[in-house]
Amino acid sequence: MSVQKVQKRYKSLSTTLTSKLLHQMKICSKTVGQPLEKMYESAYQDNTVRLANNMVSEPNHVLNGEYELLPSKQRYRIPRFNKIRLKNSFLYQSILKLNMELNPRSDAC
């Protein structure tokens, strides 16, 4: 993971703390035998799908109404957002990941 990615993710860290964090991440990735970036992404995807499934299955959840199945019952309706910031939101990303899980061969978009 590069210094820019760490600084982007952890904006409040000073340069000394950023370098210490990078050093620790390098040691951890050597111990595990995989780049931490790959592990972070897979853990994020797993947690996103797990949380989205919980929201869909629980009718009293606040965001349950946002997960609307299309008439074909094979995909969820993807909300239309004009801003990139909203396309990076949890709701949008979780619906894309749920659609990929429901129908892995089709495009999510």
Structure tokens that stand for 20 in this block = 């210490």
What is the pLDDT averaged over residues 6-35?
77
Phi then psi for residue 58, to 5 deg, are: -100, 110
pLDDT at 53: 92
Contacts by residues 35-41 (CB-CB < 8 Å, ≥ 24 positions apart): 35/1, 36/1, 37/1, 37/5
Question: For 28-63, what is each residue's pLDDT tens digit?
Answer: 888 888 777 776 677 778 888 899 999 999 999 998
pLDDT at 1: 58
The domain limits of the chain are 1-33, 34-109
DSSP string, the chain: --HHHHHHHSTT--HHHHHHHHHHHHHHHHHHTS-HHHHHHHHHHHHHHHHHHHHHH-TTSTTGGG--B-TTSSSBPPPP-SSHHHHTSHHHHHHHHHHHHH-TTS---
Question: For 49-103, what is each residue's pLDDT tens digit?
Answer: 899 999 999 999 998 889 999 998 889 998 887 877 777 788 888 999 999 988 7
pLDDT at 3: 62
Can you give the pTM of this predicted structure?
Answer: 0.61
